[in-house]
Chains A and B, each alone.
Chain A
Amino acid sequence: MRKRALAALAVVASAALILSGCSGASGDSSSTIKVAYQKYGTFVQLDSLMKKVKKEFEAANKGITVQLQPIQAAEGDYYTKLALQNKSSSTAPDVMYEDTFQVKSDVAAGYLAPLDSYIAKWNEWDQFLGNAKQAGLGDDGKTYGISMGTDTRALWYNRQLFQKAGLDVPWKPKTWDEVLSAAKTIKQKLPGVIPFNVYSGKAQGEAATMQGFEMLLYGTKDTLYDTNGKKWVAGSKGFSDSLQFVQEVYQGGLGPTPQQALDKNIGTTISSEWLPKGKLAISLDGSWQSGTWLSTGTAPWPEWNDVMGQAPMPTQNGQSPGATSMSGGWTLAMGSKSKNKSAAWNFIKLALNKENSMGYDIAASQIAVRKDVAADPAYQKANPSFEFFSSIVPVTNFRPATQDYPKISNAITVAMEAVMTGQQSPKQAAADYDQTLTSIVGDKNITK
């Protein structure tokens, strides 16, 4: 009788196995390399690049299949999905699209493989700019990510709306107050137009921290992290001032409604609808914004360069150097669990050669990190906004390069959301942030 019960068990098990036989699960042999990247909303340029590289790679490497794994998720969810994938050896990708701020943290997590031995034999590595090389380093000083391009951030504004509201064009705000007063003028003169967008809240993830909060904080006298003392800064005036600014924008009716701002699709809405249709006057946004409007983008807008202007984000009170910016960028990295590392490396190398880098940098409006691309007339002429966004590189800042940064970034978005929705005052939210900060990095790594 027991035998029969076992037989029944076997039936169940084999039924499950038969089912699995026809499942869509992926093959795992080393003749396949998996490439994970983001494809979401208006961001389809990387998908095009990957499809092109897959074709080229498979033609040049007979017998190796590239399995593209576009992850359809907004920015915040993308990191989660990628991490969920990385944690298990059967799902970990061979090549992944990795934000520079995530590199150190994921190196510490053991997700990424060092690339130094490959780079040593790669004669094109000299073409990469120093900052870009820096961005791919792990805490151990080894290189883990190859930069695809970088970016800067500034104020995009609609010239036509500014003129209608009687504001001077070109716009050159000197302080935060001048930014807010322009927004107030628009609110008053142009009802129905959203004056000013600052990304904010948990749903926007790193976009809120970097495009929103840090563009403010790095224009005060304070920073997030004391690079020399290697300590995180708690209780700074700049921190609560920045939250104060967010509060003024949202509670003062200068921004989108908080409900709109907390919609995780707001980025898509802004670039494909609000800006082209003149529904939004100013957006504190990235240099890549125009990529959506090119003929290769998802929302082509031939007149964009006539309508949209750019102005550097001023420092809080106009103090030196007068303006500020933040730079980040994304890399291609290799998964440490890859079973065919040399194929993975060849894929990265191919994806970031001059031709492919340039194609991507143009399509996605990236600031080139390869000298040969930056110097190429085809690149320089491709997008009229490149000149402006490269010109603010001297005042740009980088995010604290530590493995704790991603968690701290989350804590910042929590504080922003609490303030923008009026649930907490900037002071309370800053105090809560300090508490979270302590629990993440510990008392001894904090300076007040």
Chain B
Amino acid sequence: MVAPEAPLAPNGPRTDRRGRRRTGRALSRSTPLLPAVVLLAVFLIGPIVQAFYGALTNSSLTGSAAQESEFVGLQNFADLFADPVFPKSVLLTTAFLVFSAIIGQNVLGLGLALLLRTGSRPVRVGVSTVVVGAWIMPEIVASFAAYAFFAEEGTLNSILGAVGIAGPSWLYSFPMLSVILANVWRGTAFSMLVYSAAINDVPPEITESAEVDGATGWQRLIRITIPMIRRSISTNLMLTTLQTLSVFTLIYVMTGGGPGTNSSTLPVLAYQEAFSFSQLGFGTAIAVILLLVGALFSIIYLRALKPEVD
């Protein structure tokens, strides 16, 4: 297997034998980095810089501000913080992160990874294929599938109907629950794969000796397996959180952020304000806040985990 089993482990040998050389040497060694640096600078850092400036203007898709946008200082942020929709959206985004990523995908992913070790081969292959299938599908298809599942005349309600329960219209009455479940469905595979790989790396002797000592399955999980894979857990928590923070298509297709603003997480709100309501500057302000939140998570992740980069 060529895939690195443990990318965080110390890496292969390196040519440090020449020791420190002139800086010119170091520079020329870095030249292959140049294309990457250029691409990242233009297409990732560029828009970020643009965002910080754009958020301070009244730029618009129509009206005179579309032609000549004005610098309005922090007006967009002032308007945003005064708008009751904003705290609501922050709350919804948090709920989406906590329930679908941190709890849903991680717990279910870990559970699946553990269960998959005990199941018989056909069950194992079948279940993991289905779970991975939901993850690997193009997001727009997954979104339609989830929409059809939760729709008022959808699969979920016809199953409930078969056992005599009249299901509610999920997307309307419980939009957040629907999109949270859909995101768990869509994203669990990632956590499952990460945890499966991590558990595979736990030396079997350790769990076996614990078993000989009479530890129950539950005790072995809590005392041995989880501490052994805690690094993977924290990495995975971070990655799923960040992925979930930028989920747009799933919510946009399933509920459009509605009804009202009942499932408008920050990405959906930013889209709506910037594009549907033509207020580019205002929408950019929301995007900036999202970027800052993402950056904050990233920094926490880097500091807490100190991934070994060399």
B149 CB to nearest A CB, Å: 15
Q: Is B23 an interface residue (CB 8 A)?
A: no
CB pair B275–A84 under 8 Å, yes or no, is yes
CB pair B64–A108 under 8 Å, yes or no, is yes
A269 CB to nearest B CB, Å: 13
Residues in B whose Cβ lies below 8 Å from that of A109: 60-67
Q: Is B279 an interface residue (CB 8 A)?
A: yes
Question: Chain A, 410-448, contact with B by CB distance < 8 Å: what is the 0/1 string?
Answer: 100000011001011000000010000001000000000
Once bound together, how far apart are the Cα atoms of A203 and B169, in whole Å? Answer: 18
Q: Which residue of B lies closest to A80 (CB)?
A: B275
Asked if A108 meets B278 with Cβ closer than 8 Å, knowing A5-B32, A80-B61, A203-B258, the reply is no
Residues in A whose Cβ lies below 8 Å from that of B31: 1-2, 4-5
A7 CB to nearest B CB, Å: 11
Q: Is A105 an interface residue (CB 8 A)?
A: yes
Question: Chain A, 52-85, contact with B by CB distance < 8 Å: what is the 0/1 string?
Answer: 0000000000000000000000001101100110
Once bound together, how far apart are the Cα atoms of A12 and B66, in whole Å? Answer: 35
CB pair B276–A410 under 8 Å, yes or no, is yes
Residues in A whose Cβ lies below 8 Å from that of B261: 423
CB pair A410–B169 under 8 Å, yes or no, is no
Once bound together, how far apart are the Cα atoms of A110 and B258, in whole Å? Answer: 33
For window 43-83 of B, CB contacts with A under 8 Å fall at 60-67, 79
Q: Is A262 an interface residue (CB 8 A)?
A: yes
Q: Is B87 an interface residue (CB 8 A)?
A: no
B153 CB to nearest A CB, Å: 11
A379 CB to nearest B CB, Å: 34
Once bound together, how far apart are the Cα atoms of A84 and B278, in whole Å? Answer: 9
User: A-B pairs with CB below 8 Å: how many?
Assistant: 105
Once bound together, how far apart are the Cα atoms of A262 and B175, in whole Å? Answer: 13
Residues in B whose Cβ lies below 8 Å from that of A421: 258-260, 262
Asked if A111 meets B66 with Cβ closer than 8 Å, knowing A407-B277, A423-B260, the reply is yes
CB pair B35–A12 under 8 Å, yes or no, is yes
* B35, B61, B259: the one within 8 Å of A417 (CB): B259
CB pair B34–A9 under 8 Å, yes or no, is yes
Q: Which residue of B lies closest to A404 (CB)?
A: B63
Once bound together, how far apart are the Cα atoms of A176 and B58, in whole Å? Answer: 40
Residues in A whose Cβ lies below 8 Å from that of B99: none
Once bound together, how far apart are the Cα atoms of A193 and B152, in whole Å? Answer: 18
Once bound together, how far apart are the Cα atoms of A4 and B32, in whole Å? Answer: 9
For window 236-280 of B, CB contacts with A under 8 Å fall at 256, 258-262, 272, 275-279
Residues in A whose Cβ lies below 8 Å from that of B256: 202-203, 262, 264
* A2, A6, A83: the one within 8 Å of B278 (CB): A83
How many residues on B have C-beta within 8 angstroms of the other chain's C-beta atoms? 32
CB pair A407–B278 under 8 Å, yes or no, is yes
Q: Which residue of A lies closest to B168 (CB)?
A: A259
Residues in A whose Cβ lies below 8 Å from that of B262: 421, 423
Q: Which residue of A lies closest to B84 (CB)?
A: A432
Once bound together, how far apart are the Cα atoms of A169 and B63, in whole Å? Answer: 46
Q: Is B120 an interface residue (CB 8 A)?
A: no
Question: Chain B, 77-106, contact with A by CB distance < 8 Å: what is the 0/1 string?
Answer: 001000010000000000000000000000
Q: Is B110 an interface residue (CB 8 A)?
A: no
Asked if A84 meets B61 with Cβ closer than 8 Å, knowing A417-B258, A423-B262, the reply is yes
Q: Is A87 an interface residue (CB 8 A)?
A: yes
Q: Is A17 an interface residue (CB 8 A)?
A: no
| Range of interface residues on A (Cβ < 8 Å) | 35 or more
Once bound together, how far apart are the Cα atoms of A406 and B35, in whole Å? Answer: 44
Residues in B whose Cβ lies below 8 Å from that of A424: 260
Residues in B whose Cβ lies below 8 Å from that of A151: none
Asked if A102 meets B259 with Cβ closer than 8 Å, knowing A5-B34, A12-B35, A259-B152, the reply is no
Q: Is A359 an interface residue (CB 8 A)?
A: no
Once bound together, how far apart are the Cα atoms of A417 and B64, in whole Å? Answer: 28
Once bound together, how far apart are the Cα atoms of A439 and B281, in whole Å? Answer: 13
Q: Which residue of A lies closest to B258 (CB)?
A: A262
CB pair B169–A407 under 8 Å, yes or no, is no
CB pair B172–A259 under 8 Å, yes or no, is yes
- Give the interface centre of B38, B79, B84, B276 by most chain A CB atoms within 10 Å: B276
CB pair B276–A80 under 8 Å, yes or no, is yes
Residues in A whose Cβ lies below 8 Å from that of B169: 257, 259
Asked if A258 meets B275 with Cβ closer than 8 Å, knowing A105-B63, A108-B64, A423-B260, the reply is no
Q: Is A8 an interface residue (CB 8 A)?
A: yes
Residues in A whose Cβ lies below 8 Å from that of B67: 108-110
Q: Is A385 an interface residue (CB 8 A)?
A: no
Q: Which residue of B lies closest to A336 (CB)?
A: B67
Once bound together, how far apart are the Cα atoms of A1 and B29, in whole Å? Answer: 9
Once bound together, how far apart are the Cα atoms of A257 and B259, in whole Å? Answer: 12
CB pair A9–B38 under 8 Å, yes or no, is yes
CB pair A108–B38 under 8 Å, yes or no, is no
Residues in B whose Cβ lies below 8 Å from that of A4: 31
Residues in A whose Cβ lies below 8 Å from that of B216: none
Residues in A whose Cβ lies below 8 Å from that of B152: 257, 259
CB pair A403–B259 under 8 Å, yes or no, is no
Residues in A whose Cβ lies below 8 Å from that of B189: none
Residues in B whose Cβ lies below 8 Å from that of A110: 66-67
CB pair B172–A403 under 8 Å, yes or no, is no
Residues in A whose Cβ lies below 8 Å from that of B32: 5, 8
Asked if A410 meets B277 with Cβ closer than 8 Å, knowing A83-B61, A87-B61, A108-B63, the reply is yes
Q: Is B15 an interface residue (CB 8 A)?
A: no
Q: Is A106 an interface residue (CB 8 A)?
A: yes
Once bound together, how far apart are the Cα atoms of A417 and B277, in whole Å? Answer: 15
Residues in A whose Cβ lies below 8 Å from that of B275: 80, 84
Question: Chain A, 90-104, contact with B by CB distance < 8 Å: what is the 0/1 string?
Answer: 000000000000100
Residues in B whose Cβ lies below 8 Å from that of A201: 258-259
Residues in B whose Cβ lies below 8 Å from that of A262: 172, 256, 258-259
Once bound together, how far apart are the Cα atoms of A226 and B245, in whole Å? Answer: 44
Asked if A202 meets B63 with Cβ closer than 8 Å, knowing A9-B34, A406-B278, the reply is no
Q: Which residue of B lies closest to A11 (CB)?
A: B35
CB pair A87–B277 under 8 Å, yes or no, is no
For window 1-46 of A, CB contacts with B under 8 Å fall at 1-2, 4-6, 8-9, 12
CB pair A403–B63 under 8 Å, yes or no, is yes
Can you spell out 27 A-B residue pairs with CB atoms less than 8 angstroms apart? A2-B28, A5-B32, A5-B34, A5-B35, A8-B32, A8-B35, A12-B35, A79-B62, A80-B276, A83-B62, A108-B64, A109-B60, A111-B62, A202-B276, A257-B172, A258-B259, A259-B259, A403-B62, A403-B63, A403-B64, A404-B63, A417-B260, A421-B258, A421-B259, A423-B259, A423-B261, A439-B79
Given A9-B35, A109-B64, A410-B278, list of 5 further CB < 8 A pairs? Answer: A5-B34, A77-B276, A83-B278, A202-B276, A423-B260
| 9 pairs of A and B residues whose beta carbons are closest in the complex | A109-B66, A5-B31, A259-B172, A110-B67, A108-B64, A83-B61, A421-B259, A423-B260, A105-B62
